[in-house]
Chains A and B, each alone.
Chain A
């Protein structure tokens, strides 16, 4: 069977068995932390139900909340911009930076700017951009992309980071002590914070009632960047909007517990006004989000608060790593968001799911991730992306199973199946690579029944 890109990449990932095991265990550890802390809250499942409702309510009343948010933000002295797509977002950010003659920008973690490929865009315009989240900084120095949305460098072992830092930050060769390496990154970043002309951040939540944004970090890097620079540009996806503080209180309780198993992130920072003598810009980005709003089957994807819990629990993600997926967001939510972005380009991630439904159960805002993957698979044929072998098997099965007499005959001869021509046994090789085929019974249940061997007289 011709395999998908994900399956091919996953096969390569599994060839380093030791590292694959380590990756699986590292993420399972986070899943277990999440389990433990979620079970300390008796109201956990109620919170999830509330989280789901809040997000669904927010996205289905997006227009009015956006108006409210923008009006309140502007009243606070914030300059609000609207970007219909990634290109417009990048152009707006560049224009603001150029107007301020900013040559160097520190940025805190933002999956949206990753989505817009902002870093490359700014670099091409001669603006230096420094990632200030440690994981993101490691990857920036390494010239690679995140493999997880919360733990971006989870695929790298500390020895690899040690080697990278000794090359880029002149740390001692062979020293991969995490504390030592973190300190080295901190010293280097401290200099960047002090010399940056502007700070960019993502947004975890936008509060319509007050026009402020909330950013959750563990390292305080968003606070450091925005405190030192006079110019703050925050990039915010439309779906980050929520009504008020009450909704925030539900979602912040869910976010860190789901993401890393912490009761809360170290910093939950609210940004409402520009610093004295400075400017605060918020760029509201659509980039395909409003199209999802009208997509009844997949609207719940917009609930996502980017906690990464679905990745940590996904048995396929843990064993295949973020780079096995074609979209920049991997795992169950990434499979779905990739399909919403460009179904033809990202359909080969759809194989990366055994439909175990664990993701549905961990999701703090109850996105039906596995059901959505199932639904996307139904679209493959019309997209011209259906696997021809799978289609043939399915057609063959339909024929066999809609002809009960034929099915019964095949049951009789099923013990001969292994002598069938290759064309009738797709997938046999793939199965037998690691598993024996189950031997067929000498007599099927149907035969036993028909011969009167089942029913007691």
Chain B
């Protein structure tokens, strides 16, 4: 099984440790991982801001780089979701076919659904508050969204619970948006900051030591708020907890 590691642009620059943990986890389970070094960005920031046209060359570039793999795995639900849900329509407009959309996975989703991981080494004896990111939840269906009347489940929680010592809690308004939304965060600063503050306070009220989640962009937004307000709670990507023993 050949897996292409897709490391979103900002993870590459700001959170390389998340990418490193992803690599460790995948190789731990015997997966043949490669990292195409020419990868940059999936194009979602421009498309969400209304410039799909500018995302198109990136979609083609991504397609060329990752086409050869059996699976494409990213430690970020939102970016994986964009490749999965938007690329087909985007590329079709130009008469191209996306050959990557059907095989792109969020890392947790890949561990849970494809590798069917049921055991993880290591310990993480801490209380963590799980942030249920919008795109992971409502696009990739990593868990049951609170609005839906479906059987409750959470792939991320199930994976976290495999790590010894970890205590997973969730905030009130269990899956409300953190207010990042890409360019939304700078175009609607008052609302974005308010949403972020509310979300961080919700996590903080659980008295957890960490806020964790499967999407670095939400963690980056909330982390910025935590830092600005000098709050004691720490940020950690789910993948880093899952790779604690590696």
Contacts and interface: CB of A to CB of B under 8 A. Distances in A.
B50 A445 contact: no
Interface string A379-390: 111000011001
Interface stretch (B8-16, B97-105, B110-118): B8-16
Given A358-B177, A401-B9, A436-B227, A445 B20 contact: yes
Interface pairs A-B: 7 shortest CB-CB: A354-B181, A435-B224, A434-B193, A427-B186, A377-B50, A356-B177, A361-B147
A449 B4 CA distance: 13
Contact of B50 (A381, A407, A426): A381
Contact of B187 (A351, A362, A434, A438): A351
A44 B58 CA distance: 40
22 contacts: A10-B188, A41-B149, A42-B149, A315-B179, A355-B134, A358-B145, A358-B177, A378-B47, A378-B52, A390-B187, A394-B46, A404-B40, A408-B37, A431-B224, A435-B228, A439-B14, A440-B13, A441-B13, A441-B14, A445-B7, A449-B35, A449-B37
B47 to A, nearest CB: 8
Interface in B123-141: 134-135, 138-139
A354 B184 contact: yes
A407 B40 contact: yes
A20 interface: yes
Contact of A435 (B17, B27, B149, B196): B196
A387 B187 CA distance: 9
A367 B135 CA distance: 18
A448 B188 contact: no
A173 to B, nearest CB: 35
Contact of B38 (A38, A404, A435): A404
A380 B50 contact: yes
A441 B16 contact: yes
Nearest to B35: A449
A450 B189 contact: no
Interface string B170-199: 000101110111111111111111111110
Which of A353, A360, A380, A445 has the most chain B CB within a 10 Å cutoff?
Answer: A445
B191 A445 contact: no
B14 A438 contact: yes
A369 B188 CA distance: 19
A9 to B, nearest CB: 10
Nearest to B38: A404
A411 interface: yes
Contacts of B12: 411, 444-446
A423 interface: no
B48 A374 contact: yes
Interface in B34-91: 35, 37-41, 43, 45-55, 57-58, 61
Contacts of B23: 454
A348 to B, nearest CB: 10
B58 A402 contact: yes
Interface residues of B, number: 75
A35 B193 contact: no
A115 interface: no
Given A7-B189, A10-B188, A401-B43, A361 B224 contact: no
A247 B180 CA distance: 40
A18 to B, nearest CB: 13
Contacts of A35: 146-147
A109 interface: no
Interface in A6-49: 6-7, 10-11, 13-14, 20, 24, 28, 35, 38-39, 41-42, 44-45
Max chain A Cβ within 10 angstroms of own Cβ: one of B20, B40, B41, B225 = B40
B158 interface: no
A361 B138 contact: yes
Given A402-B57, A454-B35, 11 more contacts: A42-B149, A313-B147, A316-B195, A356-B181, A358-B145, A358-B175, A402-B61, A404-B61, A435-B196, A436-B227, A443-B16
Given A7-B191, A11-B190, A444-B12, A398 B224 contact: no
B190 A10 contact: yes
Band of interface residues on A? 35 or more
A91 interface: no
A319 interface: yes
B148 A431 contact: no
A54 B54 CA distance: 38
Interface string A390-421: 11011101101110100110010010000000
A124 interface: no
B76 to A, nearest CB: 13
Contact of A390 (B11, B43, B50): B50
A405 B110 CA distance: 30
Nearest to A28: B173
Contacts of A24: 198
B220 interface: yes
A436 B200 CA distance: 14
B224 A454 contact: no
B138 A397 contact: no
Interface string A35-77: 1001101101100000000000000000000000000000000
B150 interface: yes
A427 B147 contact: no
A391 B138 CA distance: 28
Nearest to B16: A445
B225 A434 contact: yes
B203 interface: no
A313 B173 CA distance: 11
A355 B50 contact: no
A319 B196 contact: no
With a 10 A CB-CB cut-off, give which of B12, B47, B187, B221 has the most chain A CB atoms.
B187
Nearest to A358: B147
Contact of A4 (B48, B187, B223, B227): B187
A342 interface: no
A449 B182 CA distance: 27
A356 B27 contact: no
A77 to B, nearest CB: 42
A420 B41 CA distance: 21
A350 B184 CA distance: 10
A353 B146 contact: no
B120 interface: no
Contacts of B55: 398
A134 to B, nearest CB: 28
